[in-house]
Structure 1
Amino acid sequence: MSETRDVERIYSTPEVVAKLRRLADALESETPFRIQIAGERIRVPAHAQFSIEHERGEDEEEIEFQLKWSLDEDGEDEDDDEDSDV
């Protein structure tokens, strides 16, 4: 079982553009995909829920793009080698 993790990683603009393009393709085709964040490869199932969050403080604003899924539902298609690496 995986341990709790909370990581934030800053990427260059070209890296973000490439990741977002592959993410958009996976979302559009409703297929699972993999993404590597700070050295860990993560499988995101096709049924993950996508949300966008906006926060505003006194001196800054933040927008977060978030994918969320239940770990107990992630067992389907586990051997799927067609996942793209985002």
Structure 2
Amino acid sequence: MGEDVKVTKAERDVEKGYPKAEFISKLRRLADAIESDRRFDIQIAGERIYVPTRAEFTIEHERSDDEEEVEFQIKWKRE
């Protein structure tokens, strides 16, 4: 009794495509949440994600021989 139990989430690396209209909707909700200093909630591949207001935002560009990629990234430490 009184033993501390720490539950950790399994590592996950998921990439999910969305139709253009749904992608735009998610971006608008994200922008509204950031602008209003509110937590952003999103469901990705069946899992609900809660992005805290303390998250950091970056934009990444990658290039290879035949492909280019722009990633809008949101990162935060779990508490």
Structure 1 runs of 4+ with >2 Å offset: none
Q: Find the aligned partners of 1:37 and 1:15 in 2 and give their Cα distance.
A: 12
Q: Does 1:33 align with 2:40?
A: yes
Q: Find the aligned partners of 1:4 and 1:38 in 2 and give their Cα distance.
A: 14
Q: Which amino acid in 1 is paired with 2:54?
A: H
Q: Find the aligned partners of 1:20 and 1:33 in 2 and give their Cα distance.
A: 11
Give the secondary-structure state (helix, strand or coil) at the position aligned to 2:35: helix
State the partner residue of 1:12: 19
Give the share of equivalent positions with the same residue, in percent: 60
Q: Find the aligned partners of 1:30 and 1:56 in 2 and give their Cα distance.
A: 33
Instruction: Give the alignment of 1:3-82 within 5 angstroms.
Output: 3-72=10-79
TM score, norm. by length of structure 1: 0.81
Q: Which structure is higher in RCO with an 8 Å CA cutoff and minimum separation 6?
A: 1
CA RMSD of aligned residues (A): 0.6
Q: How far apart are residue 64 of structure 1 and its match?
A: 0.4
- Return 5+ residue gaps in structure 2 as ranges: 1-7
- Return 5+ residue gaps in structure 1 as ranges: 73-86
**Pair member with larger Rg:** 2
